[in-house]
C-alpha cells in the first residue's frame, strides 16, 4: 500500500516565502524615486502629470509591480497562514491544492491592486509635500486615527471570519477564490494606513516595513471585538511576553534554590 503523501503546512510554505521575499527586498530596495526631488525646478512646482511621467521613467510599471509583489509576499504571507489552513482543512485531498491556490490568487490580486494604489498615493503625497517630516507626520496621524477607529475593528473582525466552503464542483472553486478576495479586502482595510508609512520614507524603508509587519502580526493575534473607539494591536502580545518572562524568572529562581 502506498504511503499517504504528507500535505504541505502553510506555516512552512508561507514562512519560507516571506523569508525569501525579505531577502530579495534587501537587494532590491523598493523605495520610490521622486522626480520632483531630483528636478532642477523648485519642489512642488512641476505639474503633476509631468511629475508622474518622470516617475514612470525612473520607476517603470514593471519595477513598481515587482517591488509591490515582493513587499506583499514579505509582509502579508504570514497573515495568510490561518485562513489558508481553513481552506486546507475544509477541502478534499484531490481539490486541496487547487483550493489553496485559488484562495492565494484572490488574496494576492486584491493586495497587488491595493499595493500599486498605495505606491501611487505615496508618490503623489511626496510630490505635493516635499518636506519628508511633514508628509510622514500627516500620514502617521491618519494611521493613528484609523488604528483607534471602529472601522478598523470591523476590518479586523472580517479578517477572522472562517466562512463555509463548498466541497464539490465549480462552487468549491468559487468559494475558495471568493474567500481569498474577501479576506484580502479585509486585510487591506485593516492594514492600508500602516503600510503607507514605509512608502513615504526615502531612507530606512525596509526597517520601517519590518516594524510595521511585526505590529500587524501582533495585532492579528487579538480576538474579534465590539466596534469602538480604542487603541488596539499590542495587548495580547504584551501579555504573552509578560507571561513568558514570569515563567523564565520562576525557573531561574527554582534552579537557584535547588543549587543552594
Residue at 71 is within a domain: yes
Residue at 247 is within a domain: no
Q: What are the two backbone dihedrals, phi and then psi, of residue 32, each rounded to the nearest 5 degrees? A: -75, 140
Residue at 138 is within a domain: yes
Residue 235: pLDDT band with limits 50, 70, 90: confident
Count structural domains, the chain.
1
* pLDDT recorded at residue 109: 96
pLDDT tens string 42-78: 444 555 566 666 666 666 677 778 888 888 999 999 9
Residue at 240 is within a domain: no
Q: Name the nearest CA neighbour of 184 among 161, 206, 165.
A: 161
Domain range enclosing 212? 10-229
Residue at 220 is within a domain: yes
Residue at 249 is within a domain: no
Q: Name the nearest CA neighbour of 200 among 143, 141, 135, 147.
A: 135
Task: Return left, alpha or beta for 204; rule: phi > 0 is left, psi -120 to 50 is alpha, else beta.
Answer: left
The arithmetic mean of pLDDT across residues 230-253, rounded, is 73
* pLDDT recorded at residue 29: 56
Residue at 241 is within a domain: no
Cβ(107)–Cβ(72) under 8 Å?
no
Distance in angstroms (rounded) separating the CA atoms of residues 71 and 212: 12
Report the residue count for the chain.
260
pLDDT tens string 160-197: 999 999 999 999 999 999 999 999 999 999 999 999 99
Q: What is the mean pLDDT of the chain?
A: 83
Which residues have C-beta within 8 Å of that of residue 92, sequence separation ≥ 6? 167
Residue at 201 is within a domain: yes
The DSSP code sequence of 191-215 is HHHHHHHHHT-SSSHHHHHHHHHHH
pLDDT tens string 3-34: 444 566 788 888 889 999 898 888 765 444 44
Residue 241: pLDDT band with limits 50, 70, 90: low
Q: Specify the range with the lowest mean pLDDT, choosing from 31-35, 86-90, 227-231.
A: 31-35
Amino acid at each position: 500500500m502506498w504511503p499517504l503523501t504528507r500535505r504541505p503546512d502553510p506555516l512552512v510554505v508561507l514562512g519560507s516565502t516571506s523569508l525569501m521575499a525579505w531577502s530579495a527586498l534587501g537587494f532590491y530596495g523598493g523605495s520610490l524615486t521622486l522626480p520632483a526631488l531630483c528636478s532642477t525646478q523648485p519642489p512642488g512646482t512641476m505639474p503633476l502629470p509631468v511629475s508622474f511621467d518622470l516617475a514612470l521613467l525612473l520607476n517603470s510599471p514593471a519595477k513598481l509591480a515587482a517591488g509591490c509583489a515582493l513587499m506583499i509576499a514579505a509582509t502579508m504571507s504570514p497573515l495568510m497562514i490561518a485562513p489558508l489552513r481553513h481552506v486546507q482543512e475544509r477541502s478534499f485531498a484531490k481539490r486541496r491544492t487547487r483550493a489553496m491556490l485559488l484562495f492565494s490568487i484572490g488574496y494576492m490580486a486584491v493586495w497587488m491592486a491595493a499595493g500599486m494604489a498605495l505606491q501611487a498615493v505615496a508618490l503623489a503625497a511626496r510630490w505635493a509635500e516635499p518636506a519628508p517630516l511633514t508628509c510622514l507626520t500627516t500620514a502617521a496621524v491618519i494611521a493613528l486615527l484609523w488604528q483607534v477607529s471602529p472601522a478598523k475593528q470591523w476590518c479586523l473582525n472580517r479578517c477572522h471570519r472562517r466562512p463555509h466552503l463548498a466541497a464539490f464542483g465549480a462552487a468549491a472553486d468559487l468559494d475558495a477564490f471568493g474567500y481569498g478576495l474577501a479576506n484580502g479586502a479585509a486585510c487591506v482595510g485593516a492594514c492600508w494606513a500602516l503600510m503607507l508609512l514605509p512608502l513615504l520614507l526615502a531612507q530606512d524603508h525596509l526597517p520601517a516595513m519590518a516594524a510595521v509587519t511585526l505590529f500587524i502580526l501582533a495585532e492579528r493575534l487579538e480576538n474579534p471585538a465590539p466596534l469602538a473607539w480604542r487603541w488596539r494591536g499590542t495587548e495580547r502580545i504584551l501579555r504573552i511576553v509578560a507571561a513568558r518572562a514570569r515563567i523564565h524568572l520562576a525557573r531561574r529562581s527554582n534552579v537557584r534554590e535547588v543549587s543552594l
